[in-house]
Every structure is written in C-alpha cells, then in structure tokens.
Amino acid sequence: MTSPLKVPVQMPKEKWISGHLTSFKQDPLAFLDQIQKEDTDIVRLRFGHQNIYHIKDPDILKEVLVTKADYFKKAKSFAVLKAFVGEGLLTSEGEVHKQQRRRMQPSFTESHLSSYVMVMEEETKEMMANWKLDTPFNIHTELMNVALGIICRTMFGTDVNKDYLTISQAIDEIMTTSTKRIRSLIKIPLSVPTKENKKYVQSILALENVISSIIQKRREQPTPTRTDLLSILMESRDKDGNVMSERQLRDEVMTIFLAGHETTANAMGWTMYHVATHPNVERKIMDEIQEVVGNSNLTYEHAKQLTYLKAAIHEAIRLHPPAWLFGREAKESITIGENWGLHKGDVVHISPYVMHRQKQYYQEPDTFVPERFLDDSLKHNPRFTYLPFGGGARSCIGNHFSIIEATVVLATIYRYNSINLDKNYPVIPNPLITLRPKEGIMVTVNDS
C-alpha cells in the first residue's frame, strides 16, 4: 500500500491575497532567517496564488538539481530576466541550453583561464592608479568597473572604458526594476509607457547599443587567431552547420556581459568588506601574497597557490552569496525526499543564503572564519550545503573564472594596499537579483 503524500508545514502570518509575499518583500533576508528557524526540511509558502516550497535539506536539493532535474525547469517568475538577456544561457532550457553551454565551455578551460591573468592584473593596477591615500571612495563601484573591464577584454577582446557610466547606470536600473517585477503579483506590460517602464526599456537599449557596437567592431575587424568567447560564438556552428542567429548572439553576449561581472564584483566586494572587519585576516592574506608571489609578476600558478585568500573569498560568499536565491518549477507532479508531493506548476525555492548558515553544518555560522575552508571541519558536509554557484547541469559555467578573477584582483590590491572601512557609511545587504551592498562599501586605503 502506498503511503500518503506528506504536506510541508506552512509558515504562519499569511495574508489573504498576497500570502507570504508581503512579508518577503518587506525584508527578504529577515524572511529567510525565519525560514531558517522552521524545524522542517521543506517550508510551504504562498506568493499570491503560487505555491512555493522552500527546501532546506541538501539531499532533497540534490534531487531537484541533479537526480530529478529533468522534472523541473526555471521558475516562471525569473522569466522577467528574458526582457534583457533573452534566451541566453541564464534563461534558456533543454537542448538550447545544452547546445549553448557546449559552445561556451572552451572559453572557461584552465588553459584559457591562465591566459587571462595578465589582463586581470593590468585592469586592477589601472584602477588602483586613481586611488588617493586616506581619501574615502566606494570600492564596490571600483570593483564593478574593473570586473566589467576584465570580462570585456577576456571574453570579447575589447574595452568599454568610455561607456562605464552608461553601463553602470543601466545595470543598476535593470537590477532594481527586474527585482520589483519578479516580486509583483501584477506585472504591467513593458509596452505600457509608465515612467518606470520607460526607464527600464531605455536602460536595456543602452546596454544593447554597447553590445551591438562590440559585435559590429568584431565583424569589421575580424582576426582569425582570436580565441575569446565572442569569436567562438560567432564562428561556431550547430549540428546542421548553421551559425548562431544575430538574436541568439546578442542574448549570449548580454548574459555574459551582465552575469560575468555582476556576481564576481559582488563576491570581491563582500570579501573586502569582511576582510576589512578582520585585520588579522588581512595580515594573513598579505603575508601569503608576499610568500607566494614575492617580487614576481602574478601568474595563474600563483593564484592557485593563494589558498588562504581563496578561503577568505569562499567564506565571504558563504555569508553573502551573490546568487542568494533561485527557483525551479515542477513540470509535472512528482515526489521528492520522504514522499513530499509537488504538483505541476509548484515552485521550489533554493537559497544558498539559508543553506550556508545552517548550524548543523557550520559552526558559528554567522561568523567570518576563512579557516573553515582549510581544515577538515566541512569535509563531511553533504554536497549541497555549499552552493554559491548553483548546482547540477545549470551550475554557473564561469565559477572557476570568477574565483580566479577574484583571487588575482584581490591579490593585486592587497599586495600594495591595506583597506579600511569608513565607519561613517554602514554596509547594508540589498537582495536584488544579486546580493549587493545597498549603498556600496566606502573605504580608505593605506600603503601595505
């Protein structure tokens, strides 16, 4: 006899129409902290008419992301992102996603990563040349710009120095408005010319103009020996011998353009924030850089050997994962875990922010301790207790690129500078599409 399906415990304080959405929108991270306290593997929520099941058990996460992944697709709410990334790697499904991932994979191999290190160091030194000692500035803005410069030079073989302000303003608008639209029960069509819609569409067009100029410049000045991502995308053919359509090319470039620098810049920013609040960690990082790199030019081999710095990065994105929440939608009725039943259309929420702070897997989970990634304390944790880059077939294609970039950029900074937080400007997490510092991170620098 088949046992009846289990029904997850629903969180209290549900509103009649919006369900739990109002509480979530008021303070998403505080809401997730409440979920953390619920003594169950799955917490049932309701956002309007949508049933949502928030998973806290790593073995059930493995089912959703790996063993039963074919029964799920990207959550419908994230279709909002298609307004600006189209059918790029971030939003595409099925065979389209698999084909595009295969096309891009060569740009993220170890041999390619090693060739990018010099560009990463050059861009960082160029950024640092404008810093003034003991003068406060927003390091988050600086890191956004340097990450943008790196992604454009390594992936697209060009620079966008003159467009930094246009790009940063457009991305800020897109991130803020996209977040609002994802969390709204009623989404006003973009064709309706509200003030917010017009700004949003203008921001998308501004980025499209930058991307179009990058692609057009490459078409006008082709170089057969290029091996960057843009060349691979433009020259690759599918199984029928067809090149990528103009629209698909635009979507993939837009996806890498945005995702390729936004998440890494946030990872670097959160690392610098945590290191600045722990002077002993900064000292260990500086000593390691001196020991490993010395007076040499920084290389890929050096980056691999900077284990304490990388531990600090991993610990920072444990506490503040840039991809803090994502979802999957059931394509049909399915059971997961210990006979938990999902119906077609039900949505599963997965939060690295929640998973990374569970007391049964992390001792003192709210404390910044890089050493936990160097000793054996995490060795026996299940796989999906740590997932800053997602998991399964849809895990971030650029995860190794991101860690190497963060290591090289931060090693270059800490090689020459000590970073101090400006205490007049509190650092507040802002959970948009990515987890950003709300007003940036104000710092001063001193010679190391």
Give the model confidence (pLDDT) of 405-430 as tens digits. 999 999 999 999 999 999 899 999 99
pLDDT of 98 reads 77
Check pLDDT > 70 for residue 3: no
CA angle (35, 316, 441) in 5-degree steps: 100
pLDDT tens digits, 47-95: 988 889 999 999 999 999 999 999 998 887 777 888 877 777 776 777 7
Answer for the pair 252, 100: CB distance below 8 angstroms, yes or no.
Answer: yes
Residue with tokens 């989970």: 365
Query: Average model confidence (pLDDT) for the chain?
Result: 88
The string of DSSP codes covering 134-171 is: T--EEHHHHHHHHHHHHHHHHHHS---GGGHHHHHHHH
Q: Are the C-beta atoms of residues 140 and 265 closer than 8 Å to each other?
A: yes
Q: Taking phi first (over 0 means left), then psi (-120 to 50 degrees means alpha), and beta for anything else, what does residue 428 get?
A: beta
- pLDDT tens sequence across 281-324: 999 999 999 999 998 899 999 999 999 999 999 999 999 999 99
**pLDDT tens sequence across 342-359:** 999 999 999 999 999 999
Which residues have a Cβ under 8 Å from the Cβ of 431 and sit 6 or more positions away? 28, 29, 179, 324, 325
In eight-state DSSP terms, residue 237 is B
